[in-house]
Structure 1
Amino acid sequence: MFGLLAAAFVLYTDDYVIAGILPELAGELGVTEGQAGQLVTAFSATVAVAAPLAAVALARVPRRRLLAVALLTFIAANAAAAMTPSFAVLVVLRVLAALSAAACTPVLFAFAARHAPEEKVGSYLAVVSLGVTGAIAAGVPAGTWIGGTFGWRGTFAAMAIAGALVVVLLLTTLPRPEGAEEAPALGEQLRALRRLPIVLGLLANCVLMTGSMMMLTYLAPYLAETTTAGVDERAVAFGLAGIAGMAGIWLGGVATDRWGADRALLFGVTMIVAAMVALWALWASRPASLPIVLAVAAVWGGMAFWNSPAIQARLHRLAGPVSGQALALNTSGTYLGVSLGAAGGGVILTGAGPGVLPLSAAAFAIAALVLLALAGRATRVVVPG
């Protein structure tokens, strides 16, 4: 399991770490920071589009071989990025690294779920998901420090080295398959993925992520208007949210195993709604107490990640032999939600101010609850038949 966690940590760090080295990268390659920031857009958009396509097209490729080839491509792309003199070439290399991530990421979660005992699926998924929160809490700061000390090229070189270590770790720890990789025919895969409970669950994840990222992306202006928080206090807020997220994702996995995915999701999403309403109330009574705002933000950060193991465990259970493909679509929905949340939150912030952001995020969370309820109802209708 540690190999799967480490792989998720490296792949997600590779996407997010650009933010920490933007000024140096842009200055050396002769582009604006806004243009350099499009490297993140290119990576995320590529993963969102390519993940489900790769899951279907590569369904019959043995998992160990798929992970090894994709990660070797990832290593080559990052090593070349450390030496490229051209921004245009760097964009191409980032797309290549993203294609590798698109092929790998859903496999990590599907592999964990498939090899977990039935009563531990949520916990196994939570372990892999810790790599995602760890990338935010530790990977990006480490990559930023490397970039500040050795230059931005050093960050890409470090990612290539980390990728090589992950390949060795996975090949020495993952079990070898006993036979050929089996997967349904393409038509059967598509029919299974079109089932209403799966579609509604995927949509719920995207909607929930949209609301969460709407608030997270613009947490700084919310804090600035609601409290007397300065730069240091805002850094503390993001740090607390990250730590709470790591705790939340683990506890969410345990709750999924003990309560079931549906009950865990009901609790997690309801807590998000409550936290968003509390953040709005604190804004309405501004200036608010900073410790209280930070406490509520920490609860929200924990609950935002709490839901991930339950969503994935639910999809794994419903999708059966096409769980890898369903989890790939879930990855796409997550990246799409990140993009929509940032874009929609920006419009709301400009037009109505930061105080409306918590209510908007709460509305998206309620919509996700409705979609999950409909998915549960559709599941009960489909299963008896």
Structure 2
Amino acid sequence: MAQTLKTSALDRRVWLVAIAFFAIGTDFNVVSGILPALARSLDVSVPAAGQVVTSYAFFYAICAPLLAGLTTSMRRKPLIAGSLTAFALANAASALAPTFAFLIGTRIVAAFAASMFAPAAYGFAASLATPERKGAALSAALSGITASLVVGVPIGSYIGNRFGWQGSFWFVTALALVGAIGLGFRLEHHEEQTAAPAMGAPAASFLARFAPLAKRPVLLGMVPSLVWYVAMFSLYTYLGATFTERGMTKEGLSAMFAAFGIGSLIGNHVGGSLGDRFGSQRVIATALVIQIANLAWLGTTGASLVANALAVAIFGMNVWFMFPAQQSRLLALAPKHGPLVLALNNSTMYLGGAIGSAVSALLIRHGVATANLPWVSCVLYIAALVVFALCSRALRCDARVSTRTESM
């Protein structure tokens, strides 16, 4: 019995990877909670401060697939420990930023380091488990992202609003250093040494990561997710500013992000199983409809703490409700390109973050009140539902044509 338990237990290094992902998830998402304080401190407008999110998300979206291809031949220990250390130092530099322009530069460096760490960490976590436990190892490692929404972001937001926005970045720096030091000591050169790639190999690997996009089913599957990520981040980026304008206290802001995190945890836990039972298509369509109704309600909740917390929890639940369902849908559309398609879907999320935050910044500059951003997100989610329906219809038509062709 003891032998069985020992065999089934996950390698402790998986949990060090989870700590690192906890730091990365907190870093990206905590900015929303400190945006008003950051804008005041650096003497910029709230929409201008939103560029902190836009720049990070854009460079992560671009760098992640590029670096995943270019770093495949590197040894894991220097790659993982080095990129995580660079991420920690970039956050320390963010905390010390004397100007807004300097802060933007440090966020780009942090995005670069995080996008280098993530794919290597996925592979490392999977390599620490037996074939039948690889899924559990990856799930445990990525639990750091979900935990960051439930715990890291509310704590980081409270620290930033209580002691100055710099405190949030010092918090992330400390978390990242714990992960970097732990992994640096515990990583072993257990991977096989590989020969240096031939000239041009990295470029081919990079281009190969985008090959699935040339396939019509994958493209039709990803376009709707880009639109709903734009809709999601158009509100989430300015969630702190939205409730600050509604008169919410610092403690209230932390409660809002805790509610979002709890909703995300529920959505991520339930979304995959419901997708398996009822089909990804139906789950995504239902989640989009619920999200539209919920955001319309959030647009009318005013300063009510309970109503806002419930609406934000539903908002987070639906965001993560769709994530595993969309992954399953993409895997079904391109079963031969699973890892590549999922990596591109991750980049799509960050690209949606860059576009969504930029759209809201533009609207705020033209007079839209941040308190009314739930309505903006609602309209964009309606667009996402329409695009999803049109793309799903096109996929069904393609499937019928393919069936007829094969039967002839």
The two structures have a TM-score, normalised by structure 2, of 0.69
Q: Counterpart of 1:98?
A: 111
**2:381 maps to which of 346, 361, 366:** 361
Is 2:76 the partner of 1:57? Answer: no
Amino acid across the alignment from 2:62: V
Amino acid across the alignment from 2:56: F
Shift of 1:265: 4.8
Inter-partner Cα distance in structure 2 for 1:294 and 1:82: 29
SS in 2 for 1:336: helix
Amino acid across the alignment from 1:330: N
Alignment check: 8 A CA contact 1:78 1:160 kept: yes
Identify which range, 275-284 or 359-368, moves more after superposition: 275-284
What value does the CA root-mean-square deviation take over the aligned residues?
Answer: 4.8
Identical pairs, percent:
30
Q: Counterpart of 1:272?
A: 288
Shift of 1:96: 1.3
Q: CA 1:374 to 1:298, structure 2 compared with 1: closer, same or farther past 3 Å?
A: farther
Shift of 1:7: 2.1
Q: Deviations over 1:99-150 (max 9, x none)?
A: 0012223444566678888998877665555433433332233234444666
Alignment check: 8 A CA contact 1:220 1:234 kept: yes
Inter-partner Cα distance in structure 2 for 1:324 and 1:312: 10
Identify which range, 81-90 or 114-123, moves more after superposition: 114-123
Q: Counterpart of 2:352?
A: 337
Q: Deviations over 1:45-96 (max 9, x none)?
A: 2212222221222233345543222112212323344455455444333221
Mapping 1:214-233, distance limit 5 Å: 214=234, 216=236, 231=248
Is 2:324 the partner of 1:312? Answer: no
Shift of 1:157: 3.6
Q: Counterpart of 2:29?
A: 16
Amino acid across the alignment from 1:177: E
Is 2:181 the partner of 1:177? Answer: no
Alignment check: 8 A CA contact 2:231 2:356 kept: yes
Mapping 1:208-287, distance limit 5 Å: 208-214=228-234, 216=236, 231=248, 239-255=258-274, 258-259=276-277, 263-277=279-293, 280=296
Identify which range, 44-53 or 111-120, moves more after superposition: 111-120
Shift of 1:242: 2.6
Q: Deviations over 1:259-282 (max 9, x none)?
A: 4xx813531431331342365489
Inter-partner Cα distance in structure 2 for 1:36 and 1:274: 30
Inter-partner Cα distance in structure 1 for 2:183 and 2:16: 5
Identify which range, 96-105 or 347-356, moves more after superposition: 347-356
Q: Deviations over 1:301-350 (max 9, x none)?
A: 31220222233355567667865543343232112222333454674994
Is 2:16 the partner of 1:3? Answer: yes
Q: Counterpart of 1:327?
A: 342
For structure 1, list consecutive stretches of 5 or more residues without a partner in the other structure: none
Q: CA 1:7 to 1:368, structure 2 compared with 1: closer, same or farther past 3 Å?
A: farther
The two structures have a TM-score, normalised by structure 1, of 0.73
Shift of 1:207: 1.7
Identify which range, 357-366 or 213-222, moves more after superposition: 213-222
Q: CA 1:141 to 1:302, structure 2 compared with 1: closer, same or farther past 3 Å?
A: closer
Q: CA 1:114 to 1:84, structure 2 compared with 1: closer, same or farther past 3 Å?
A: same
Inter-partner Cα distance in structure 1 for 2:377 and 2:32: 23
Shift of 1:10: 0.7
Q: CA 1:365 to 1:176, structure 2 compared with 1: closer, same or farther past 3 Å?
A: farther
Inter-partner Cα distance in structure 1 for 2:189 and 2:288: 38
Inter-partner Cα distance in structure 1 for 2:191 and 2:307: 51
SS in 2 for 1:32: coil
Q: CA 1:3 to 1:252, structure 2 compared with 1: closer, same or farther past 3 Å?
A: farther
Alignment check: 8 A CA contact 2:298 2:311 kept: no
Inter-partner Cα distance in structure 2 for 1:290 and 1:149: 19
Alignment check: 8 A CA contact 1:245 1:303 kept: yes
Is 2:67 the partner of 1:48? Answer: no
Alignment check: 8 A CA contact 2:280 2:326 kept: no
Aligned pair count? 376
Amino acid across the alignment from 1:13: T
Mapping 1:178-193, distance limit 5 Å: 178=192, 180=194, 185-186=204-205, 188-193=208-213
Q: Counterpart of 2:5?
A: none
Inter-partner Cα distance in structure 2 for 1:278 and 1:18: 23
Inter-partner Cα distance in structure 1 for 2:399 and 2:89: 44
Inter-partner Cα distance in structure 2 for 1:250 and 1:159: 25
Inter-partner Cα distance in structure 1 for 2:131 and 2:393: 23
Alignment check: 8 A CA contact 1:126 1:309 kept: no
Is 2:171 the partner of 1:158? Answer: yes
Q: Counterpart of 1:32?
A: 44
Q: Counterpart of 2:3?
A: none
Inter-partner Cα distance in structure 2 for 1:27 and 1:296: 28
Inter-partner Cα distance in structure 2 for 1:177 and 1:6: 22
